[in-house]
Amino acid sequence: MVSECANPRCHEPFIYFRQGKIFAVPRGISAVTRATIEYFWLCQRCAESMALEFHRGDHHPSLVSRRAAQVR
User: What residues make up the domain containing 38?
Assistant: 21-71
Residue 64 placed within a domain: yes
Please classify residue 46 by burial: count the beta carbons closer than 10 Å to its beta carbon, then call 0-12 exposed, 13-18 middle and 19+ buried: buried
Residue 16 placed within a domain: no
**Number of domains within the chain:** 1
Residue 3 placed within a domain: no
Q: Whole-model pTM above 0.85? A: no
Residue 53 placed within a domain: yes
Residue 36 placed within a domain: yes
CA distance 46 to 34: 32
Residue 54 placed within a domain: yes
Residue 14 placed within a domain: no
Residue 1 placed within a domain: no
List pLDDT tens digits, range 11-64.
899 988 788 999 888 776 666 667 788 889 999 999 999 999 887 766 678 889
Per-residue confidence (pLDDT) for residue 61, from 0 to 100: 81
